[in-house]
Structure 1
Amino acid sequence: MIKENKMDGDQSIPADFSSLKTGSGDLLIYNARILSFQDGFDNNAYDTLAISGNRIKAIGRFGDLQSLIQPGTQVINALGKTLMPGLNDSHIHIWKVGNLKTYMLDVRGAQSLDHLLQMLADYALQYPEAAWITARGFNEAAWKNGQIPTKTDLDKVIKDRPVYVIRTCAHIAVCNSKALKLCNITANTPVPDGGVIYQGDDGKPNGIFSETALGLITKNIPPYTKTELKTMVLAAREELYKYGVTSATDPAVDPLLLDTYYEMHRENRLGFRLNAIPIILPDGGDQPYPIPDYYTSDEFNVNTVKFFSDGGLSGKTAALKRPYKNSAEQGVLRLNKDQYITLASQASAKGLSIATHAIGDAAIQFVIDSYKELKKLFPDIKNRIEHLGLPETKHLEAMHKYEIATSMQSIFISELGKNFIKYLDEDYLNRCYPVKSVIDNNILMALSSDAPVVKNLNPFKGVQAAVTRTDDEGSIIAAHEAITVAEALKAYTYNAALISKTEQTGSLAAGKFADFIVLDGDPLKISHEQLNTIKVKQTFVNGQSVYSA
């Protein structure tokens, strides 16, 4: 350990990160516990990181790199803290995370139907100017009666304005009678393919919609402006910094949001590395969106497009081969295969990869069969499956053979485990989000949050869930699918960079971008039960400190 060193005459080496000055220039951090997560990298070998501009110049031992210290170089003593690559959330709805911090009511804390209704009533009083009351996040499976609210429930607290409340999964929503009237929804309204309009005992819509039918309501809600979207993105960015996330993928970007991201990129306002995955088929719409052009840069990328093949497990809309437990429901398969192959081929012809949401085994089978056809037409394009909730062994074997990657969410085990236990039979539950089997089949797998589907987007909570397989109620789900801490961290860094096609991030090595974080503990050394308590002390993007605790 270096106690003191002199340079530039009497200038001493700063003691720690508290003396760090922002701005351009060279930086050398020593006395650190460095975790790189690059293949072949010895995690115990090096203690010093040298940065020049926005790139890593060298990594090694202080004695070997001390010669890099020049006049003007900032030298920081890490005091033994752990330093690792910036985390990469490969599937997070960035603007929606920010929306719940700005323009939409967050009801993820609703403990009961009455609690939800009270939150809506209070919000309506607080914002009398709001033309629509929109909210997101309820999970009826955590309530005593376990019943999804209907229009009748919402009408009890708000009648004068339309109300639209999205379930935590975002595949189901409920609206009040005023919204139904404004949207001209009646018993005679045609149901879009891949969607459901639920009915009450009277044969009329009861206010609950799922999958593509959500578009019947959302197309009537005034869209956000670009200025509002930018506010949401910046609000989400501060949350990402707090949790050490320096790269992220927004996996459901419509044309307005895509234009907004491009504007922020040109204005140099993003402040983190962003992959945008545009959606091609809007909910409830007859016409697909235009297929975007391939775009790549150091900060912003558009290299993949998105489709939805089914819904979610927590709301019983993921497409299964057999019914959910104690139910006749098997979920919803949303895609028409001919249209899917046609649009995916058009995107592939532009060099774009395909990402398809597929959770249930029926949906996964559908997507893999489609990807096999695409592989014949475009052998060099590598596609991905989002979520991969209930794959069969044959699915994993096919994914390896056809080079299909996946972005999964172990954190679902934590927050939505109670739903899975309630809705899935023993066989399904034993292979729910099987991250170990995915790794064992040599499939490129990244971990992510899918926030705001979950409230806690902390990657270390996701790591903990992948390692312990324990939900927030203490129940263990498919313990044999647990992976190591190192494997989980690699899935949030190195693997996430590979699946996002941003190989200049994800590990600490000479020449790569200087995106890294400083932690208050070593995730490889503390107990699994403490993983979610790790705090990010400092977040760096392009060699610049963007967050300090």
Structure 2
Amino acid sequence: MKKTLKSLLFLTFSLTLFGEEIDLIFTNGNIITMNNSKDVQEAVAIKDGKIYKVGSNKDILKFSSEKTKKIDLNGKTIIPGMVDTHLHFLRYGLTFYQIRGNGKSKEEIIEEVKVKSTLIGDKDWIRGRGWNETIWKNPQLPSAKDLDNASKNNPVVLFRSDNHAIWVNSKALEIAGITKNTKDPKGGNILRDKNGNPNGILVDSAMDLVLDKLPELSEKELEKAYVTADKEYSKMGLTTIFDAGDDVSISLVQKLIEEDKIKTRVNVILDPKTTEKYITKKVLAKDSMINDKMAITGFKIKYDGALGSRGAYMLEEYSDQKGTFGNKLMSTEKLNQLVNDAYELGYQPHIHAIGDRANKEVLDSFEKIFKEKNKDNTELRYGIVHSQILSPEDVKRYKELEIIAIMQPIHATSDMNMAEDRIGNERIKGAYAWKTLKDNGVIITGGSDSPNDYVEPLYGIHAAITRKNHKNLPEGGWYSNEALDIYSSLEIYTKNPAYLWKMEKN
């Protein structure tokens, strides 16, 4: 008895003395560990907000003390915190305070603009996002005149759901100085009516003509948006996000994390303009770790546009618009220079490539740097964001070069209304090809590109498994041969993002 008591006292003493006292224990659960051996356990111990140990009820309860909170799961499932490897933190938060066009008809959006114009000053901008003409009864692009009927005095700018086109009214065109004589900027398009006048739709780099005129939001408005988004992420089970950030957002998010107003871990992928600043100042990645919940690890590089707005850069012309091949947003030389700069400074390039030609040229750029530096991607872990339309030979190159496909499963079910129209029934076989990539040994990570699409990770997992949208359509799934199994779908939101961030051993 004395020996047993002595052992028990020693155990209690050891746990508290060496800081091993556990905060929280879950028992009687279905704990999916997502480790290499695919273990499923009964219980898990949590310390300082992190998983300390998993095992049987008996093994884990040994770490319990009087201060430990215990929760009986009664057979419920726990998975590791989910990660979104490509979204827009601020933009999502702002959707709660601006026009939200997601899933709405053109008429509904116009009515919201009309109401908004009665609530603000005459010269105030009306902002919003989420419209998608392909889901409307009349799937034609809208025009400035449509918005003029809702607001003639307030300039209006509404982002398309893919964030690669904006719909503006005549007042916004006037402020930006866009007329019949304004030429299309390189890498962008000013869409026009039959008389050559701007019709209110600006694509890719042409958007900047209006966006550069937008007044900056106040810090109070930005803070409210970030805090709102963070609360939503917590409800969904998102514990870590990869966010395209700039100087202003980085400092504000850091402040909010330190004030404990943001709980989510944030991996910053610098937006293109901030990337150029870091390159000019030669800021090393190793000097960019901010705190244990925030780091700057990558450069965001936009190489082409989006499929919906026919900006994705294609090897062959669009099936529904002859003579159109999409937009290449920079020269090959510029791309190669940015990839080299990322290597020299220690950052991971996250390169936006949707079209098959864009993917091919980005793979060429990666192959070039690997040969020049005598490196392979199992160490560097460079990724292509979207990896959406691939030629068969480039699927194999993804594996040969060990490129990580940073994909958004929900894009397939959002694009299914128009994707085959855009690229035809042959090229579609190499689009949203998750299972083909997986079968070829390519590592895929999951995300949402929110607010361009629904942020809920369970929507993404559902799309990956079923090839259906969150309304469970279409019956039988869209090109269901490219669906992933359940475990692989969980991997792309848990285990694989950790690999991308080089955190798989933490």
TM-score normalised per structure 2: 0.88
- Percent identity between matched residues is 27
1:53 aligns with 48
2:100 aligns with 106
1:227 aligns with 220
- Distance in 1 between the 2:369 and 2:223 partners? 36
Within-5 A mapping of 1:29-178: 29-43=26-40, 46-102=41-97, 104-111=98-105, 113-128=106-121, 131-178=124-171
2:173 aligns with 180
- Distance in 2 between the 1:38 and 1:186 partners? 58
Higher alpha-carbon deviation: 128-137 or 158-167: 128-137
- Distance in 1 between the 2:502 and 2:388 partners? 23
| C-alpha distance 110-65 of structure 1, shift in aligned 2 (>3 A) | closer
- Distance in 2 between the 1:55 and 1:164 partners? 42
CA offsets 1:456-498 (integer angstroms, 9 cap, x no match): 3221221121112234541632221111011001111010121
SS at match of 2:445: strand
- Distance in 2 between the 1:201 and 1:55 partners? 60
Within-5 A mapping of 1:264-343: 264-281=256-273, 288-291=276-279, 293-294=284-285, 295-296=288-289, 297-328=291-322, 329-343=324-338
Q: CA deviation at 1:383?
A: 1.0
- Distance in 1 between the 2:116 and 2:284 partners? 41
| C-alpha distance 226-376 of structure 1, shift in aligned 2 (>3 A) | farther
Q: CA deviation at 1:266?
A: 4.1
- Distance in 2 between the 1:372 and 1:225 partners? 43
1:263 aligns with 255
8 Å contact 2:320–2:421 — kept in the other structure? no
- Distance in 1 between the 2:345 and 2:399 partners? 24
8 Å contact 1:390–1:431 — kept in the other structure? yes
Higher alpha-carbon deviation: 372-381 or 316-325: 372-381
Q: CA deviation at 1:173?
A: 0.7
Q: CA deviation at 1:139?
A: 0.7
| C-alpha distance 155-445 of structure 1, shift in aligned 2 (>3 A) | same
Q: CA deviation at 1:65?
A: 2.7
1:494 aligns with 495
- Distance in 1 between the 2:88 and 2:189 partners? 24
SS at match of 2:140: coil
- Distance in 1 between the 2:142 and 2:123 partners? 22
1:458 aligns with 456
- Distance in 1 between the 2:330 and 2:79 partners? 40
CA offsets 1:213-247 (integer angstroms, 9 cap, x no match): 11111111012233322221111111111111111
One-letter amino acid of the counterpart of residue 317, structure 1: G
SS at match of 2:67: coil
Q: CA deviation at 1:310?
A: 1.0
One-letter amino acid of the counterpart of residue 353, structure 2: A
Higher relative contact order at CA 8 Å, sep ≥6: structure 1 or structure 2? 1
SS at match of 2:216: coil
- Distance in 2 between the 1:155 and 1:57 partners? 58
**Structure 1 residues not aligned, in runs of 5+:** 1-23, 505-511, 513-549
- Distance in 1 between the 2:462 and 2:79 partners? 17
| C-alpha distance 267-346 of structure 1, shift in aligned 2 (>3 A) | farther
Paired residues, number: 473
- Distance in 1 between the 2:176 and 2:502 partners? 41
One-letter amino acid of the counterpart of residue 45, structure 2: A
Within-5 A mapping of 1:430-445: 430-445=429-444
- Distance in 1 between the 2:363 and 2:325 partners? 19
2:12 aligns with none
One-letter amino acid of the counterpart of residue 319, structure 1: Y
- Distance in 2 between the 1:28 and 1:366 partners? 50
- Distance in 1 between the 2:47 and 2:265 partners? 19
Within-5 A mapping of 1:416-431: 416-431=415-430
One-letter amino acid of the counterpart of residue 252, structure 2: T
One-letter amino acid of the counterpart of residue 357, structure 1: H
8 Å contact 1:172–1:210 — kept in the other structure? yes
SS at match of 2:272: coil
Q: CA deviation at 1:413?
A: 2.2
8 Å contact 1:429–1:477 — kept in the other structure? no
CA offsets 1:421-466 (integer angstroms, 9 cap, x no match): 4323111222221111111121121111111111x32212211211
8 Å contact 1:280–1:290 — kept in the other structure? no
- Distance in 2 between the 1:355 and 1:280 partners? 11
- Distance in 1 between the 2:182 and 2:258 partners? 43
Task: State the superposition RMSD in angstroms.
Answer: 2.1
